[in-house]
Structure 1
Amino acid sequence: MIAPGGEALGGLIGAFRHMIQTEGFFSLYKGLVPSIISMAPSGAVFYGIYDILKSGYLRSPEGRKRIQDIKQGGQELNAFEQLELGPVRTLLYGAIAGACSEAATYTFEVVRRHLQMQVRATKLSALATCVKIVQEGGVSALYAGLIPSLLQVLPSAAISYLVYEFMKIVLKVEPA
């Protein structure tokens, strides 16, 4: 690993040692506040959007018919056939929920990355960093890199929900 000044740090331990010596122990936690602040809204949006989409579908005529067909099929259906939304809709709704969650909290990630890149001499608070980002690049700067981030999140969120719903069936877990 090479430090900004060009000196070799000697791997991960060397990088930690360098950070602690040059910027102090708490430099290891730069960007922690925006990360923590983004956790609650991220989960709320992720699970909330999925639940809204799922319950909306299950209340629709098509969804009610699907549930009725699953009940009639009983034990003869495999776990994928027993998915309330079906595999494709489960993947789609999971991806939509993940995209909404990522878009809603992405600005916190941008601020966190900027905080991590700061050196002690020019260190700003999270709020001051956010203001500086907007002053220098406009509001759109808070969303720089969102598209590549979404390309990573979409498959992950989709697969997470598919596995979650599939395992509820396999393990015979009933919702509360």
Structure 2
Amino acid sequence: MQTEERVGVVVEGVQSILNAGHGSDEGGVHSVMQQQQRSLPEKSQNGAMSHALAGGLAGALGKTCTAPLARLTILFQVQGMHSDVATLRNVSIWREASRIVGEEGFRAFWKGNLATVAHRLPYSSVNFCAYEQYRKCLKMIPGLESHGEYMSTDPFVNFISGGLAGITAASTAYPLDLVRTRLAAQTNVMYYRGFCHALQTICRDEGIFGLYKGLGTTLLSVAPTFAINFSVYEMLRSFWQSRRPHDSTALVSLACGSLSGIASSTATYPLDLVRRRKQLEGAGGRACVYTTGLSGTFRHIIQTEGFRGLYRGILPEYYKVVPGVGIFFMTYEILKALLAGSTLG
């Protein structure tokens, strides 16, 4: 019955167009088609801008809220570079947090956060915008177009789109990521006085390619991280909404985002640890610790710190990703809906 009513409405609409044309049927239909064709690029452009803006703001907010835990994670990850094993055994999250407050002050938990926000705005904007565009492109590939409206529940498409989006975003904003890592890793010795000073010093000491130190490891890390993030998030959200369609969108996004963050962090943490250490090679004029490639770096860490060394700092990482990724996806969904509504209005 509903289908018949919709068909009747469409027929009446077409008839009114033809009648308005006073006999010029072809001219009326042609003008309507032209208007629709002109509106498609505008809608696509507005949609891409909404995704980019919502993603950028979501990334900046999520990182700012979890900046203290993010800094603790980085400090734990890089401790094995210039510390002996005996010292590492006595480190705990509470002791390290107390040291930061006592030696550097409470505001030091947000050290490098300005660089983080400067990095996350373009990084998350490109990430979410690229993710949506890659999904649309994959939908056009023969063999995948049949998924149609079920595209958002297709794990393969979301996995590939998330990985490609992560690579695109990381390549675009990588120098900003390296700078914020070095700022956050500083403790008592302030070699870099700020964001701009860090950029100038790295270019002076290490050359322009110093800004891309560790890029290969980063791409190997972010591709599976975002592939798992997006695919697990979309799968959990679709499953939740199919069972409980009336639950709050914010609550669903927060819970599913947190679970997807745990899954991706567990799977890719060793790569993330290695990329952080690669980014800090030669920082502050120190000698390089890892002179071999990726496999040699893994081997060196296992030999000097044991297999557990690959997961150094995983606990504060979990504390960080549960609220961080949850806030990230929740803010993105809310802002995307609000921006889409204002665009339609």
Match of 1:77 in 2: none
**1:61–1:14 distance in 2 versus 1, CA, 3 Å:** closer
Q: Is the 8 A contact 1:106 1:143 kept in 2?
A: yes
Using the size of structure 2 for normalisation, the TM-score is 0.39
Give the CA deviation at 1:24: 3.5
Larger radius of gyration: 2
Supply the AA of the counterpart residue of 1:108. L
Q: Is residue 2:126 matched to residue 1:45? A: yes
Residue 76 (structure 1) aligns with: none
The 3 A distance-change label for structure 1 pair 47 and 63 is farther
Count of equivalent residues: 160
Deviation at 1:163, TM superposition (A): 2.3
From 215, 220, 237, the equivalent of 1:146 is 215
Report if aligned partners of 1:107, 1:142 keep a CA contact under 8 Å in 2.
yes
Cα distance change on mapping 1:66 and 1:168 into 2, 3 Å: farther
Give the 5 Å matches for 1:126-145: 126-145=195-214
Within 5 Å, give how 1:7-26 maps onto structure 2: 11-26=92-107
Match of 1:62, SS? coil
Distance 1:86 1:131, change over 3 A: same
RMSD: 3.4
- How many Å apart are 1:97 and its aligned residue? 0.3
Gaps of 5+ in 1: 71-81
CA distance in 1, matches of 2:191, 2:145: 61
Residue 104 (structure 1) aligned with residue 172 (structure 2)? yes
Query: Residues 136 and 159 of structure 1: is their aligned pair in 2 closer, same or farther, counting only changes over 3 Å?
Result: same
Tell me if the contact between 2:192 and 2:201 (Cα under 8 Å) persists in the aligned partners.
no
1:91: which partner in 2? 159
Higher helix share: 2
Task: Confirm or deny: 8 A CA contact 1:110 1:143 kept in the other structure.
Answer: yes
Match of 2:146 among 66, 83, 87: 66
Residue 61 of structure 1 and its aligned partner are, at CA, apart by: 6.8
SS at match of 2:193: coil
- Amino acid corresponding to residue 174 of structure 2 in structure 1: Y
Judge conservation of contact 1:54–1:85 (CA < 8 Å) in 2. no
Specify the code of the residue in structure 2 equivalent to 1:145. G
Does structure 1 retain, via aligned residues, the 8 Å contact 2:151–2:157?
no
TM-score by length of 1: 0.70
